[in-house]
Amino acid sequence: MKIAIVCYPTFGGSGVVATELGIALAERGHEIHFVTYRQPVRLEFLNSNIHFHEVHVPEYPLFRYQPYELALSSKLVDTIKLYDIELLHVHYAIPHAYAGYMAKKMLKEDSIYIPMITTLHGTDITLVGNHPFYKSAVTFSINKSDVVTSVSEDLKQKTLEMFDVKKPVEVIPNFIDIKKYSNDYTDCQRSLMAKDEEKIITHISNFREVKRIPDVIKIFYKIQEQMPAKLIMVGEGPEKEHAELMCEELDIVDKVVFLGNSNEIDRILCFSDIFLLPSETESFGLAALEAMINKVAVISSNTGGIPEVNQDGITGFLSDVGNVEEMAKNALYLLKDETLLNTFKENARTVASKFDILNILPLYETVYEKAYNSRYKNSY
Ligand code: GMT
């Protein structure tokens, strides 16, 4: 099929999922067209099956806010017509589903019927979408999507609770491309990061408030009080400066490494012992899944969709949001017992394997076919 994918191109779960999905679909022979304002970070190459169309928003002094939705819907109409695109898949409802619906309506004027799949990723429902200033438009664009998918059962329930949704919501979990992780790195270069006796704790995120970055530092502080350890912080975002300041105040600067954004997270995870994800809310926790496939045990909060990924007492431990005491205790319990830690690491890999893209991709393909076959009965 010829599919247009709309996503955020930045580091962040929804963009990563959309990009990896597009790449995998292209490998299976579909023609994929990414439509967004910058080339997605995980999209390293373009070929005859993978195209990228940049949305430009011309600046005009009259506008206090530049109209991205308008530019996106126009770009979608032009791209869909030019490449005979058959299906539109938008990731993250705001404002993509809204712009996608406008594109659908414009195309209908030319008797082009394009089905739109909207994948809900989390904060588009739980944090941003639920805001009274956006809620009516988000509800409308969800209901005007031809198929709505959510990345976890928990997110589906939250969507149904928070919005007046008239469409069925199908759960298609996030995934991992296991073949990319089939060769164990032998060049882990652990010694570059830590001394032999030091345990390595890792956190990867976009450093937004919802990730509870201060909890990451607090948990690590308690760990390093009891054993030699290093904390690797990967990512960029608004909470990073505060985190660096906290490390100075706690006098642990020499034990914490801030690496910034990275396209090589598997190389970092390869030498990690524990992954910390104490988020306030998390629809799925893709970062935890990426850690698990790299055989890293996960200490996380028990919020949102995380329990659908990290299994308590098997792949790691889950605690109530903010319970840093318990999270540190659980981390130390694993770190102090090498055999137990190794069992959890192996379990993490086994559980993560169930989310292999080969199991998940056909679920999207089925949804695409269904939507395409009923394109003349689309929601308008
Ligand atoms: O805040 C983030 O982690 C980014 C955000 C996004 O939309 O890019 O992530 C959300 O989507 C990911 C992919 O589906 C999920 O794994 C994350 O759990 C989810 N984040 C939240 O719900 C906070």
**Is the confidence at residue 185, as pLDDT, over 80?**
no
Cα of 278 from ligand 1 centre, angstroms: 14
Residue pLDDT, tens place only, 345-373: 999 999 999 999 999 999 999 999 999 99
Residues with CB under 6 A from ligand 1: 12-15, 17, 92, 121-123, 151, 174, 206, 208, 210, 281-286
pLDDT at 183: 56
Q: What structural domains and CATH numbers belong to the chain?
A: 2-175+357-373 (3.40.50.2000), 179-353 (3.40.50.2000)
Residue nearest atom 23 of ligand 1, based on CA coordinates: 282
Q: What is the mean pLDDT of residues 247-265?
A: 94
Atom number of ligand 1 nearest to Cα 151? 14
Range 31-67 burial, b when 16+ CB lie within 10 A, else e: bbbbbbeeebbbbeeeeebbbbeebeeeeeeeeeeee
- In terms of Cβ atoms closer than 10 Å to its own Cβ (0-12, 13-18, 19+), residue 343 is middle
Nearest to 177 by CA among 289, 268, 44, 288: 289
Which ligand 1 atom is the nearest neighbour of the CA of 280?
A: 23
**What does the pLDDT read at residue 187?**
60
Q: In the predicted model, what is the mean pLDDT of residues 18-45?
A: 93
At residue 269's C-alpha, the angle toward residues 312 and 40, to 5°, is 105
Q: Give the pLDDT of residue 225.
A: 98
Sign of CA dihedral 369, 373, 379, 380: positive
What pLDDT is recorded for position 43? Answer: 86
Ligand 1 atom index nearest CA of 284: 18
CA of 120 to the centre of ligand 1 (A): 10
106 CA to centre of ligand 1 in angstroms:
30
How far away, in angstroms, is 285 Cα from ligand 1 center?
A: 7
Distance 122 CA to ligand 1 centre (A): 6
Mutate which of 124, 125, 162, 283 for ligand 1 pocket (most atoms within 8 A of beta carbon): 283
- Write down the pTM of the prediction: 0.93
How high is the pLDDT of residue 266? Answer: 87
